[in-house]
Structure 1
């Protein structure tokens, strides 16, 4: 059995490579490609060998761990939270080759149980306590030894000091931990739990280990599944891709608000731009792409950014997000129930076609560029059925490319009534419910309150009134530049 230490700190057990950085992990590969290939074969064979009885193990490792990475950055194997709701399964190729197929099955079962027990997401106090890590290992290894009928821990060959080798157990032996726990408590004159009561759950093991005079902790480098590599102990790691995506979304939303006239957002964004000056071409291109330099009245050197186009594409996509119908798989559900697991809904087939209604205010000023681009956006969105209206005092359907005629006055309520099925045109009502309504207007008309304001998108032309943004609740609203600049 691997030696169990006393007093080892979490910081001493951190790996030298960020375990959420997939590129860095893949860069740590064994020199022998045959070892890599054999380790991959053993992993896939072990997952296949779990069969129906333990198929939930395979399901957890495939569904939760989106990437299985062979790397020498870990000594044995680990599951690591990536910060975006997913996990990584890491395994040392030479370690897998050394322990053989039976050992790999044990290790994969072990790592899957960490996921099932949600050990990567326990309270920060437990994640920071090495005694809890040992308790988790004891509890899981006990279950693995019983469920897999392994008779003991995996073993691997190590030098015996005389030129030969000897098979050495790998991992934490729950029986040995219970023996040392019982000796410690008996030495204090306290009554220890029996082995079966001791291994009941990971929290029972944790509570009992805490009763020891000198609590045991996990040995260095062994099963670092819940460690945070870099940063403060107790925090969940976040991978670089997720950080970049989240930061980009936050910046994009702040700049949208700034370009809509929000002074606080404008000041914050310009302050960030000022502080990042001199940071290199990459930052300059980033701010140019996001449209931040437009807040200073500048034209980006990288390329012209028509912000309203990006804003409309993002906003429309959020209202027409692709989805799939949820169905209950009867056969699979019956199998899951027989195995004692809750059945899950599965996805099958696309949702219905999305409906977009585009209404153009013929009394406002707009260029053909605006109409042409909206036509292109809606036409290129998969699964979308588009309907087009022009309106002033009345609503008039039209086909993009046709000439649009305007009259006098503007009435938004007519568009609302038509979209909601209360108004007919030539005796024909609008018989479908739109998933999104795009209004292109100068905003000057009596204000309206649609039944589902979250589905309405207002593009306010030059010099227009952006009252929809101040509606209760606010509606998606953005100013567009209808002419060339």
Structure 2
């Protein structure tokens, strides 16, 4: 492989934007292909890739890169860079493949492997084989994308873009059989990138990856360093994307569930760091198990993630349904749009004071809501009656428990001292032992139930079910 120095600083947005194609139609078509590909990810292809690219605050078409890349700028944000002519040449299917390919490189942390691996061309080839196999499976394609070969038959010839995992496996299998050794089957061969790497090293005649197939492998960045992508920023972006995908999976999104479980399976055996990472993200709940990693208050992570999922919808790319339907009716492809700033969100927190309420729970909920930007909080204590209060005030209780009073107050039907609750809450957090007649709020998807030790978690099994988590701490 030959390292090529980028013509500009790939974190300088102005310099990147200054390098664009002369033909505006190429630029417009590339932008359209990119938006449609991201829409396809969110709807049918890859929830993880969709969320990863929504975390990139700027999508920049530029000729400073030959293909596409995600670049960490060092200020906590990422850029998605893409060459417009390259995207036009490979078409929509190719754009989807390339974006998915780059996303998986980041998720597999190939840029941050051990120095010995990064220095070995065979590891680069193994990474390409592994990623392209996953891309072909997840995107349900039978081959690699192709592009026009310049200067051949007036632009009518095409060549594949990337490393074909089946071709590499065939050459590997032929080499081992010539040695009188038994090769792995294709399914065993592509299990993980490290399996591919180990098996390629068994070959008598090593394979060499062609130059220019992946931007992460054939460019160097500023000061002659590797492609610019600092580990801290990339780790943060990937963690957020995976957390969003896991939340979607836990809410019943089958595409997200399948993709996250596939990622977990392909990372098994990767060491304690990966095990802890999946445990911290709460992914093991998808398998009905929780790994023993360290002392974690899982209910705190669950509540923070659940509350964020209900209150931060405006921070991601969305599909405009009405506008999209009109565009489709007119024969145009729908585009993604960014939802702008939203009004302050309202959270109603109701604490059951009919019995003993753990101080840790109350303190944590107070801290969490206080640290959530753009949130207006309202507090209630309740037993048989509803009693508004502000944090720091003493709360009273001890009588029977009535959930319906809280529902009536939250929905504006019950007034306290002649004053009704005049705003509609975006989320209602109920901290209770769960022992009281069951209720069905008008908007159950906005209700979050924290059930204390020994309580009844009926909201999780209610119809319709509501977000519910048992408040427990310790080693899980």
TM-score, structure 2 normalization: 0.52
Deviations 1:439-481 (A, max 9, x none): 0011111110111111111111111111111101111111113
Q: CA deviation at 1:401?
A: 1.3
Aligned to 2:3: 29
CA contact (8 A) 1:441 1:460 kept: yes
Q: CA deviation at 1:252?
A: 8.3
Q: Are residue 314 (structure 1) and residue 305 (structure 2) matched?
A: yes
Which of these residues, 390, 393, 410, is aligned with residue 402 of structure 1? 393
- Please give the alpha-carbon distance, in whole angstroms, between the structure 1 residues aligned to 2:268 and 2:93: 40
Distance 1:423 1:289, change over 3 A: same
Give 2:417's aligned residue. Answer: 426
- Deviation of residue 111 (structure 1)? 2.1
For 2:373 and 2:338, the matched residues in 1 are separated by: 19
The question of whether the paired residues in 1 share the 8 Å contact of 2:30 and 2:85 is answered with: no
The partner residue of 1:84 within 49, 56, 69 is 49
Are residue 50 (structure 1) and residue 23 (structure 2) matched? yes
1:447 equivalent in alignment to 2:438: yes
Q: CA deviation at 1:287?
A: 6.7
Shift of residue 364, structure 1, vs aligned partner: 2.7
Kindly name which structure, 1 or 2, has the bigger radius of gyration based on alpha carbons: 1
Task: After TM superposition, list the pairs within 5 Å mapping 1:57-456 onto structure 2.
Answer: 57=29, 59-60=31-32, 84-85=49-50, 110-114=85-89, 117-120=92-95, 128=142, 133=146, 137=148, 170-174=150-154, 218=158, 222=159, 224=161, 280-283=271-274, 285-286=276-277, 289=280, 300=293, 302=294, 304-323=295-314, 347=338, 349-456=340-447
> Per-residue deviation at 1:174?
3.8
Change (3 A) 1:307 1:422: same
1:175-202 per-residue CA deviation (whole Å, 9 max, x = no partner) reads 7x5xxxxxxxxxxxxxxxxxxxxxxxxx
Q: Provide the C-alpha distance between the structure 1 equivalents of 2:314 and 2:32, rounded to a whole number of angstroms.
A: 23
TM-superposed CA distance for 1:282, in Å, is 2.4
* 3-state SS of 2:49 partner: coil
The equivalent residue for 2:197 is none
Shift of 1:366: 1.4
Question: Which residue in the other structure is 1:478 paired with?
Answer: 469
| Count of matched residue positions in the alignment of Structure 1 and Structure 2 | 322
Q: Could you tell me whether the CA contact under 8 Å between 1:366 and 1:482 is conserved in 2?
A: no
Structure 1 residues 471 and 61 mapped into 2: Cα distance closer, same or farther (>3 Å)? closer
- Tell me how far apart the structure 2 counterparts of residues 254 and 349 of structure 1 sit (CA, whole Å): 26
Query: What residue ranges of structure 2 are gaps of 5+ in the alignment?
Result: 39-45, 54-58, 68-81, 98-135, 170-185, 194-215, 217-233, 253-260, 319-326
How far apart are residue 84 of structure 1 and its match? 1.4
Equivalent residues of 1:443, 1:460 under 8 A apart: yes
For residues 244-286 of structure 1, the C-alpha deviation after alignment (integer angstroms, 9 at most, x for no partner) is 87877788899999xxxxxxxxxxx9xx99x979x74425644
Q: 1:347 to 1:414 in 2, by over 3 A?
A: same
Distance 1:88 1:127 in 2: 27
Q: 1:371/1:390 Cα in 2 relative to 1: closer, same or farther (>3 Å)? A: same
Matches of 1:65 and 1:467, distance apart in 2: 41
CA contact (8 A) 2:380 2:388 kept: yes
Answer yes or no: is the 8 Å Cα contact 1:392–1:411 preserved in 2. yes
Q: For 2:93 and 2:451, locate their aligned partners in 1 and report how far apart those are by CA, in whole Å.
A: 49
Q: Distance in 2 between matches of 1:111 and 1:370?
A: 54
Q: Cα offset for 1:50? A: 3.1
What secondary structure is seen at the aligned counterpart in 2 of 1:356?
A: strand
Question: Which runs of no fewer than 5 residues in structure 1 stay unpaired?
Answer: 1-15, 17-27, 67-80, 96-106, 142-169, 178-216, 258-268, 328-335
Q: Which has the higher contact order (CA 8 A, sep 6+)?
A: 2
CA distance in 2, matches of 1:250, 1:481: 24
Distance across 2 between alignment mates of 1:297 and 1:358: 28
Distance 1:254 1:65 in 2: 21
Asked if 1 retains the 8 angstrom alpha-carbon contact of 2:21 and 2:84, the reply is no
Farther off after superposition, 353-362 or 224-233: 224-233
